[in-house]
């Protein structure tokens, strides 16, 4: 498993998936929890509200993974800008 994370290209692909899942969870949670709330039972609203918290969390994690993998893919970029 640690071998997977040692390759920045793998982390970059994973970060794209995490960003996509986070965005879908956020948008679905907003739609169901706030726009479609009157038509859902409370047992369905609770997970939808949780999705509005988990979605942005996944977006942040995916973004940091993306930044780290891009930094590892281009280590000479920092020296070239200075």
* Tens-digit pLDDT profile for residues 44-60: 999 999 999 999 999 99
Q: Is the separation of the CB atoms in 16 and 61 below 8 Å?
A: no
Task: Supply 70's token pair.
Answer: 């891009």
- Give the separation between CA 45 and CA 22, rounded to whole angstroms: 18
Q: What is the pTM of this model?
A: 0.83
Q: Which of 22, 26, 27 lies closest to 63 in space, CA to CA?
A: 22
- pLDDT band of residue 37 (cuts 50, 70, 90) is confident
Q: Is the separation of the CB atoms in 1 and 30 below 8 Å?
A: no
- Give the separation between CA 56 and CA 61, rounded to whole angstroms: 9
Task: Supply 22's token pair.
Answer: 């986070």
């Amino acid at each position: 498993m640690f071998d997977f994370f040692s390759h920045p290209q793998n982390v970059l692909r994973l970060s794209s998936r995490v960003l996509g899942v986070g965005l879908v969870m956020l948008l679905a949670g907003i739609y169901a929890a706030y726009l479609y709330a009157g038509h859902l039972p409370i047992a369905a609203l609770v997970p939808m509200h949780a999705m509005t918290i988990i979605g942005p969390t996944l977006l942040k994690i995916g973004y940091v993974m993306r930044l780290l993998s891009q930094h590892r893919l281009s280590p000479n970029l920092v020296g070239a800008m200075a």
